[in-house]
Amino acid sequence: MAKINHSLLIKNGRVVDPANGIDQISDVLIVDDHIAAVAPSIDFQAHETIDATGQIVVPGLIDMHVHFREPGQEYKEDFESGARAAAAGGFTTVATMPNTKPVVDNPYLVEAMIDRAAEVGLINIKIIGALTKGQQGEQLAELAQMDEVGAVAFSDDGHFVDSAKMFLNALDYLKPLDKIVICHEEETTLVKGGSMNESLNSARLGLKGRPAIAEDIAIARDCLLADYAGARVHFAHVSSARSVDIIRATKMRGVRVSAECTPQHLTLTDDIVDPSDATTKINPPLRTQEDCDALLAGLIDGTINCIVTDHSPHAIYEKELPYDQAPSGFPGLETSLAVLLTELVSTGRMTLVNLIEKMTWAPAELFGLDAGTLSVGSKADVAIFDPALEWTVDAKKFYSKAKFSPFDGKKLTGRVTHTICGGKLVYKL
């Protein structure tokens, strides 16, 4: 029998593991870096015990869309601060987007980022490579070489690939590799200079709009190209009701498309936009309640596969610029689960099991990750949260370097108390 270096027993928690259809009061035994047992009662003298009575025990959360700003913009965020923010939010696996400085568009940078993630070591940080060189949309990046060294997907996130021919070339190239292309979908000419959803609100506030039709057109084009190429296409941060309809119809035809949405697009609308406060400026922008409702319906019926944060940190002085000049995005890892528990689960609009599935097993299965489950023998990535714990968001206390949020000051119910990655406790409230 192999020597046990460390063991951790989680007692009396409500274990929710959608991958295995588990939702019951159970114990979870972790031995070294793997799940050793999940059962109603485990009699084992562990090195460490966590009493999870009244709490919920789930697989470590997965976020396939974050911006940690390495390399080149570490003043906004770096792998260490981003990883600590992720752990505080219950995330044990994240994937970083390549729109850094320089762009991660070659195997040498992918390898360097993988090494950097291992150096930080807190959580699992996966690397997404750029689709085109410099994300310029003009020449394919070194896709096969990046795949060989460990890129989990490819994206020009932050940029729509204007050339249908270039996008089709990428799909044809990646199809034999069975890799997903993650698409930022906004038809460029329709959103240039816009800073919020095009609506009566944008007209009233005097801000140039980014119309939802720009997203709809881009998604419609790429649904057709995905069908034509037989390739895997994933739509980033979907925000429009019509886009949900287009994706649903495309999936029903058997086309290999998938989609994600964010907590902010599920729970916030353009009614809260204040030109003097750019924390609400995101890309794509906050839309209408009708769009929020359509996204939720798409999540529940499976049209939208998973939830991501699109964690997008910036320096505070950048977000204090005038609304139309400030960069888009805000840090979301530390508030994501609590916002969704408060706004969707506590209100009865979504079940807890469905929410956890969209944040664990669904992205793991979609992207082929060894994660998202509490199966015996699997890697011991676990999050524990108290669903009744009330707290008020204080952005100044974020682990992220970005100390701002549209949820700042909001009272939420439900908070992560422990995060375990590879059998190691990496966060405790």
Residues in Cβ contact with 391 at an 8 Å cutoff, skipping those fewer than 6 apart: 338, 411, 412, 415
What is the predicted pLDDT for the residue at 3? Answer: 83
pTM score, two decimals?
Answer: 0.97
Report the alpha-carbon distance of residue 304 to residue 287 in Å, rounded: 17
What is the rounded distance in angstroms from the CA atom of residue 107 to the CA atom of residue 129?
9
Cβ neighbours for 25, distance < 8 A, ≥ 6 positions apart:
12, 13, 14, 15, 40
Nearest to 296 by CA among 307, 283, 310, 285: 307
Exposure b/e, 108-134, CB count within 10 A at least 16 = b: ebbbbbbebbeebebbbbbbbbbbbee
Q: Point out the residues that are catalytic.
A: 310
Pairing mode of beta strands 91-96, 124-129: parallel
Structural contact between residues 62 and 355, judged by C-beta atoms closer than 8 angstroms: no
The strand pairing partners of 29, in sequence order, are 9, 37
pLDDT, mean of each 10-residue run, the chain (429 residues) = 86 98 98 96 94 98 98 97 98 98 97 97 97 96 97 96 97 96 97 96 96 98 98 98 98 98 98 96 98 98 98 97 97 98 98 98 98 97 98 98 98 98 97
Widest Cα–Cα separation across the chain: 71
3-state DSSP call for residue 277? strand
Q: Note every long-range contact of 240-243, with CB atoms under 8 Å and residues 24 or more positions apart, other chains counting.
A: 240/212, 240/215, 240/216, 240/284, 240/287, 240/291, 240/294, 241/212, 241/290, 241/291, 241/293, 241/294, 241/295, 242/212, 242/213, 242/216, 243/185, 243/212, 243/215, 243/216, 243/219
Tell me which residue of 16, 156, 96 sits closest to 333, measured CA to CA.
96
As given in the structure block, the two tokens for residue 66 are 């974050």
The CA distance from 340 to 404, in Å, is 19
CA distances from 195 to 88, 287, 326 (A): 30, 12, 9
CB-side exposure of 427: number of CA atoms within 13 Å?
Answer: 29
CA–CA dist 418, 411 (Å, integer): 20
What pLDDT shows up at residue 221? Answer: 98
